[in-house]
Amino acid sequence: MYLLLNEVSSKYAKCFSLVLLTYFFMMALQLLSSIIGQITNVFLDFNIGQQYVTIIIRLIGIVYYAEFVSFLLAETSLGNVGKMFEYIVKLYLIGYSLPMIIKLFELILSVV
């Protein structure tokens, strides 16, 4: 189908590819949301605070969004901007996950 559209017009082929890519990411988001629901149930069964579950869900969403934007930037020949965006997101993720890291160290120290 892509090759046929590419022969007709490359503009339509790119549009078709973008629609397929959007559909793929939409299906992946639905799968990801069901996985997040299952992970949330596991965390709540272990009496982990709701704020940490919220942080985990937000971190997963940020990573998903960053991968999508980075892929689109790479496809539009803006790979350097995509790499810079990835670095900024990684720094943000480290800062945003600090409460969880501190809680993990507190848990390890309480066990030891």
Question: Of the candidates 78, 76, 43, which has an alpha carbon nearest to the alpha carbon of residue 59?
Answer: 43
pLDDT at 8: 57
Q: Which amino acid is at 112?
A: V
pLDDT at 11: 63
Share of the chain above pLDDT 70, in %: 76
Report the Cα 100 to chain-centroid distance in Å: 18
pLDDT at 21: 74
What are the start-end ranges of the H helices in 1-112? Answer: 2-8, 10-45, 50-75, 79-96, 98-111
Question: Of the candidates 55, 59, 60, 52, which has an alpha carbon nearest to the alpha carbon of residue 29?
Answer: 60
Q: How far is CA 76 from CA 18, 37, 81, in A?
A: 11, 34, 10
Please give the backbone phi and psi of residue 53, each rounded to the nearest 5 degrees, phi first: -65, -40
* Digit-coded pLDDT (tens) for 56-95: 778 888 888 888 788 877 777 777 877 888 888 888 888 8
User: Would you kindly state where each structural domain of the chain is located, as residue ranges?
Assistant: 2-111
Count the neighbouring beta carbons within 10 Å of the beta carbon of residue 82. Answer: 19
**Picking from 2-6, 15-19, 20-24, 36-40, which range would have the lowest pLDDT averaged per residue?**
2-6
pLDDT at 48: 65
pLDDT at 63: 83
Summary mean pLDDT of the chain: 75
Share of the chain above pLDDT 90, in %: 0
Is the confidence at residue 4, as pLDDT, over 80?
no
Tokens at 24, concatenated: 């793929």
